[in-house]
Amino acid sequence: MKNRRSDQAGAFRLPCLICCALILLASAVEPAQAQENPELNKVFAQMEKVGKGFRSFTAKIAKKKYTAILKEFDETETGEFCYGRAADGSALIREDITAPVRRILTIKGELATVFWPNSRQAKILNLGKNKDKAEYLAIGIGQSPAKLRENYDITYQGTESVDGAPCSVLLLRPKDKRTAAIYSLITMWVEKSSGITSQYKLQEPNNDYLLVNFTDEKLNARIPDSKFEQKIPNGVEIQRF
């Protein structure tokens, strides 16, 4: 029964996250003025350097949802996260959650596929012209700061340690009102040693939030193309959006 409830919770939460993150961020916004904070500029310079040589990113992932009214977290989901870029520059993503319930998300081209092996259910979403917004699920990793500034007002919050590693903390406030109605604030922890995002938080207007943490991060490791493809077995119930 517990696994069934977890499957159902994931079934509702994940498509909502994908739709909000990949579709609502589609609106164009005028670029912001250059940032004046010297510490923020240092972080941007490091991120820019990483972005120029970026090919891929792999890590262990841990995700948990906080519900403000209950003042508690849902059960933590753990697994593996892979992120790369196709020849045309579009994002390639695989999020393989192994506990507490197996769930596999892949994004390639215009298709996002979510598969729950335990319940033998799958959802396939056609991203269409919003396929480039898949990078939202790996926000700040190998991305140009200029691209982030197009959509967010960014401020430097200071330094905090995440899993023992010193990180620069950046606050991102969406410029687009429709996006802000879903996620009012995004917090990024950028490792000082690597210039990549080791943790981020997506906060909703009601103070609920999703906390995503990466460990054992590896940059530019070779990832086979097959990693970003899913072959749904026969007999699986498939819903298409």
Has residue 32 been placed in a domain? no
Q: pLDDT at position 241, please?
A: 87
If we measure between CA atoms, which residue out of 132, 130, 137 comes closest to residue 114?
A: 137
Has residue 9 been placed in a domain? yes
Answer for the pair 172, 153: CB distance below 8 angstroms, yes or no. yes
Has residue 179 been placed in a domain? yes
Per the structure, how many domains does the chain have?
A: 1
Amino acid (one-letter) located at 6: S
The boundaries of the domain holding residue 215 are: 2-25+37-230
* CATH number assigned to the domain comprising residue 143: 2.50.20.10
| pLDDT reading at 23 higher than 90 | no
* Predicted confidence (pLDDT) per residue in 33-70, tens digit: 444 689 999 999 999 999 998 999 999 999 999 999 99
**CA distances, 228 to each of 16, 39, 65 (Å):** 21, 36, 25
Give the separation between CA 195 and CA 192, rounded to whole angstroms.
6
| pLDDT reading at 120 higher than 80 | yes
| pLDDT reading at 26 higher than 90 | no
Has residue 185 been placed in a domain? yes
111-115: average pLDDT: 93
φ/ψ of 142, rounded to 5, equals 70, 15
Distance from the Cα of residue 183 to its chain's centroid: 13
101-122: average pLDDT: 94
Q: pLDDT at position 32, please?
A: 40
If we measure between CA atoms, which residue out of 125, 127, 128, 113 comes closest to residue 236?
A: 113
Has residue 134 been placed in a domain? yes
Answer for the pair 95, 61: CB distance below 8 angstroms, yes or no. yes
* Predicted confidence (pLDDT) per residue in 194-228, tens digit: 999 999 999 999 999 999 999 999 999 999 989 99
Answer for the pair 111, 126: CB distance below 8 angstroms, yes or no. yes
24-30: average pLDDT: 34
Has residue 236 been placed in a domain? no
Rg (C-alpha) for the chain, rounded Å, is: 17
**Residue by residue, what is the 3-state secondary structure of the chain?**
CHHHHHHHHHHHHHHHHHHHHHHHHHCCCCCCCCCCCHHHHHHHHHHHHHHHCCCEEEEEEEEEEEECCCCEECCCEEEEEEEEECCCCCEEEEEEEEECCCEEEEEECCEEEEEECCCCEEEEEECHHHHHHHHHHHCCCCCCHHHHHHHEEEEEEEEEEECCEEEEEEEEEECCHHHHCCCCEEEEEEECCCCCEEEEEEECCCCCEEEEEEEEEEECCCCCHHHHCCCCCCCCEEEEC
Has residue 85 been placed in a domain? yes
Has residue 107 been placed in a domain? yes
